Amino acid sequence: MEPPICALCGVRFDPGAATVRFSDYRPLPDGMVGHPHGLVWFCGAHLEAAEAVAHLPAEEALTTLRSNPPRNPR
Ligand SMILES: [Zn+2]
């Protein structure tokens, strides 16, 4: 598992950080250690925007989010 670093803004260990599963999410095989494909960390400020595009593959979603940055609610 990767450390909780927001894929959009790079904030580390935000208390509201959580992972989003994108459409290309693939769970790790049993017993395998690592970070699953399509599972991406976002800080609390970007989580909602990320979940709104979770129907896309991770790379496409990140491109969309970066070209159309969500407003920071804080
Ligand atoms: Zn962020």
User: Can you give the pLDDT at residue 12?
Assistant: 96
Q: Can you give the pTM of this predicted structure?
A: 0.86
Ligand 1 center–CA 28 separation, angstroms:
25
User: Can you give the pLDDT at residue 1?
Assistant: 76
Ligand 1 center–CA 37 separation, angstroms:
19
pLDDT in tens, 10-65: 999 999 999 999 999 999 999 999 999 999 999 999 999 999 999 999 999 999 99
pLDDT in tens, 51-70: 999 999 999 999 999 998 66
Ligand 1 center–CA 8 separation, angstroms:
5
Ligand 1 center–CA 71 separation, angstroms:
10
Binned at pLDDT 50, 70 and 90, residue 71 comes out as low
Q: What angle do CA 17, 46, 25 make, to 5 degrees?
A: 75
* Best CA proximity match to 65, nearest among 25, 20, 34, 27: 20
Task: Give dist(CA 38, CA 60) in Å, integer.
Answer: 11
Contact 29, 41 (CB under 8 A): no
